Amino acid sequence: MAALCASSATTISSPSSQKTGGLLGATRSSFLGGKKLRVSKYRAPASGAKWSFTVSAAAADPNRPLWFPGSTPPPWLDGSLPGDFGFDPLGFGSDPDTLKWMVQSELVHCRWAMLGAAGIFIPEFLTKLGILNTPSWYTAGELEYFTDTTTLFIIELILIGWAEGR
């Protein structure tokens, strides 16, 4: 939803010749980039026909929605990222490399959250159908594992810390 609401950069193409009936005018929104992507499907032009088109990009909208109406967003938050409402009071994203890393880590965290949701609902559904015999997700903490929970917690901290620190 944030990718659809916060997209402020657009790409416009105006072909000067559409003699072969292509789809040069079609665009689609990039979920990850927050910008419009060009979808170019066309056949090779007939002999003697020349193709030309112009691509231009619009700047970020100065009237874009902000986290606090009337506030001035930092210069490194230009509205090109999904969910960018100009909120970075501590300046974590001021370094371009750090901002790029934060975008990628947010994608990783979202993917883990989606896997976690699937890990709750799919076994519940399969248990209701009688295919699996698994406990409900809210009673998983009551089960006895192959080792004590302190060891599992420490191993989890080490492994997740390693994955996050890369």
Which amino acids are annotated as binding site for chlorophyll b, given as ranges? Answer: 111
Question: Residue 165 — φ and ψ, nearest 5°?
Answer: -80, -5
Please state, in angstroms and rounded to a whole number, the distance separating the CA atoms of residues 115 and 109.
10
Residue set of the binding site? 106, 109, 111
Which tokens belong to 25? 């005018």
- Per the annotation, where are the binding residues for chlorophyll a? 106, 109
Q: What span, in angstroms and rounded, lies between the C-alpha atoms of 33 and 112?
A: 19
The token pair that represents 92 in the structure block: 């974590």
